[in-house]
Amino acid sequence: MKIARVAALRGSLRVRLLAGTVFWVAASLLVAGLSLDRLFRDHVAEQFYASLQSHLDQLTASFTVDEQGRAALSMALSDPRLSRPYAGLYWQIDHLAGDGSVVATGVLRSRSLWDSVLAVPADGLADGEMHRHRLAGPAGSTLGLVERSVRFEAAAAASAARWRLIVAADERLIAEPVARFSGALWLALGLLGCGLGLAVVVQVAVGLAPLRRLRVALGRVREGAAERLEGSFPVELMPLVEDFNGVLAHNGEIVERARTQAGNLAHALKTPLSVLANAAHGRQDEQSRMIAEQVALARRQVDYHLARAQAAAATHGAGARTLLAPVIAGLLRTMRRIHAGRPLALQVSVMPETLAFRGEVQDLQEMLGNVLDNACKWAAQRVDLAAQRDGEVLRITIDDDGSGLTAAQRDAVLGRGVRADERTPGSGLGLAIVDELARLYGGSVDLAVSPLHGLRVTLTLPAAA
């Protein structure tokens, strides 16, 4: 079950197209999203540090050391966040020894640091260099900071007075815009993805619509409603459709040729069989009897297989529609002529003019001809025919007032080569052939006792509109 479903999915053009496109769209959007996110994050970080640096520059510019070697600011830094406690932006000035080791941290600090001190690890910071660091800040925050060391040569007391100037900011300043951007970005990309997915579904449906029409057209051919694939298809499908129609036509030709050849073979055999039968006839010796027997056998075989070949070649009426009335009229003319020697009344009791059989005229003639001929052979003086439509099927009943058949005979007579009575000429295949043809058309032949006391044959065949 599961395997079948997987196979069905793999075998589906729609699923393949959908899966392929959706995969690539998703992958592209993901890569684009990640790249954009990364780019933005870098950009925000750059800006963050650039702003820190500008604060540092400002700090550096206003930093002075008095004669006693005490650090001081010539003017306050302007950013209001620096004076609000734990506002997220801080500065601090550390006093370093000449070798770079920390003498005192937090010599001067921004108001915002309140009573905490940034414990920046000592590193080999050359004069004028700027470093970046990350470290834990007040109130559990993470800070990003820039530091720079300056030296005041002019200071008298300072043997080697170096100062480390630090500006730090809460990394939330990076994380918040990045998070906002990411949210918006992924939402946009998600919407884009959904839109693309929808477009793909629509495109696949629209793109595959001709295939569905092709399937419908093919179904019509299968059902016999059309002889070839009809309708216009996209240029990409046209070669396929044309080739398929070519194959259909070729197939039809092959079937027709096979049918003709089978017919020709059978007919070519019949004349020599007649000659043989006539030569053997009327002589009493063993050999002649054997020839007569074998000829009769050969004749049955030829009849049976010829009828089968014709029935098998019946194309189930690819789109064929045969009006019942003209066929029955022709057959009745023929029956009246062939059975002219007997005083038969052939009557059609019910026969709507519009009744039509969904199949080929020859096959209908063959079925009705055999049944009618049979009825005429056995009838005492009357044969009745009635045809009616019953939903999707035609029901044609043919009654005769002959001696009829027993239940056992009725069963046997539809079997191959069984003759109900050897006296009446005919190969005894008539009803068996009718049965076979009717079944090829999805119909049936039923035998019953007629109200006229003879045999009632009911042919059930597909009706055409």
Partner 1 sequence: MRILVVEDEPTLNAQLVSSLRVAGYVVDSTDNGVDAHFMGDSEAFDAVVLDLGLPRMDGLTVLRKWRAGGRATPVLILTARDGWHEKVTGIDAGADDYLTKPFHMEELLARLRALIRRAGGHASAEIVCGPLLLDTRNGRVMVGGQVLALTGHEYRVLAYLIHHAGELVSRSELIEHIYAQDFDRDSNTVEVFIARLRKKLPPGLIETVRGLGYRLLERP
- Asked whether position 140 contacts partner 1 by CB under 8 A, the answer is no
Nearer to partner 1, 218 or 269 (CB): 269
Task: Tell me how many degrees the CA angle 308-441-329 measures, rounded to the nearest 5.
Answer: 90
> Is-contact 235 64, C-beta < 8 A?
no
Q: Which stretch binds partner 1 (CB under 8 A): 29-37, 68-76, 139-147, 363-371?
A: 363-371
CB of 338 to partner 1, least distance (A): 6
In the bound state with partner 1, the residue whose beta carbon lies nearer, of 17 and 273, is 273
Name the one range near partner 1 by CB under 8 A: 91-99, 236-244, 313-321, 334-342. 334-342
118 is a contact residue toward partner 1 (CB under 8 A): no
* Closest approach of partner 1 to the CB of residue 363, in Å: 9
Asked if 277 interacts with partner 1 (CB under 8 A), we say yes
**Residue 271 binds partner 1 (CB under 8 A):** yes
The set of residues, in sequence order, having a beta carbon less than 8 Å from that of 71 and lying 6+ positions away, is: 63, 64, 65, 93, 95, 107, 108, 163
Name residue 393's beta-bridge partners.
390, 462
| Minimum CB distance to partner 1, residue 275 (Å) | 5
Give the residue, chosen from 203, 294, 334, 388, that forms a contact with partner 1 under the rule CB under 8 A: 334
Q: Does 299 bind partner 1 (CB under 8 A)?
A: yes
Residues 418-437 that bind partner 1 (CB under 8 A): 425
Integer CA distances (angstroms), 242 to 211, 247, 251, 254, 272, in order:
14, 9, 14, 18, 45
281 binds partner 1 (CB under 8 A): yes
Q: Which of 170, 303, 384, 401 binds partner 1 (CB under 8 A)?
A: 303
CB nearer to partner 1: pick between 59 and 433:
433
Which amino acid is present at 444? S
Kindly tell me which of 303 and 435 has the beta carbon lying closer to partner 1. 303
Count of residues that bind partner 1 according to CB under 8 A = 37
CA–CA distances in Å: residue 174 to residues 54, 86, 240, 346: 16, 16, 61, 105
* 380 part of the interface to partner 1, by CB under 8 A: no
Strands 130-136 and 63-65: unpaired
Name the segment binding partner 1 (CB under 8 A); options: 176-184, 270-278, 345-353, 436-444. 270-278
For the chain, first and last CA: distance in Å? 41
Residue nearer to partner 1 on the CB measure, 7 or 296: 296
Among 10, 172, 180, 333, binds partner 1 (CB under 8 A): 333
383 binds partner 1 (CB under 8 A): no
Kindly state the smallest distance separating residue 322's Cβ from partner 1, in Å: 11
Please identify which residue in 106, 177, 197, 330 interacts with partner 1, judged by CB under 8 A: 330
- Which of 41/270 has CB closer to partner 1? 270
Supply the angle between the helices 361-378 and 430-440 in degrees, to the nearest 10: 150
Q: In this complex, which beta carbon is closest to partner 1, that of residue 83 or of residue 424?
A: 424
Query: Does residue 250 touch partner 1 according to CB under 8 A?
Result: no
Shortest approach of partner 1 to residue 400 CB, angstroms? 18
| In the complex, minimum distance from the CB of residue 297 to partner 1, in angstroms, rounded to a whole number | 11
Among 92, 110, 149, 370, binds partner 1 (CB under 8 A): 370
Beta-strand pair 89-96/162-170: antiparallel
* 18 vs 368, beta carbon nearer partner 1: 368
Beta strands at 382-390 and 345-350: parallel, antiparallel or unpaired: parallel
Q: What angle do CA 464, 319, 368 make, to 5 degrees?
A: 55
Which residues are CB-contacts of 102 (< 8 A; sequence separation ≥ 6)? 94, 95, 96, 122, 164
**Complex with partner 1: residue 224 or 263, whichever CB lies closer:** 263
For position 362 contacting partner 1 by CB under 8 A, the verdict is yes
310 binding partner 1? (CB under 8 A): yes
Cβ–Cβ < 8 Å for 396, 386? yes
Q: Is 291 in the site for partner 1 (CB under 8 A)?
A: no
3-state secondary structure 241-299: HHHHHHHHHHHHHHHHHHHHHHHHHHHHHHHHHHHHHHHHCCCCCHHHHHHHHHHHHHH
Does 295 interact with partner 1 (rule: CB under 8 A)?
yes
User: Contact 221/318 with Cβ under 8 angstroms?
Assistant: yes
Identify the residue among 369, 402, 404, 443 touching partner 1 (CB under 8 A).
369
Contacts with partner 1 by CB under 8 A lie at 266-268, 270-279, 281, 295, 299, 303, 306, 310, 330-331, 333-334, 337-338, 340-341, 343, 361-362, 365-366, 368-370, 373, 425
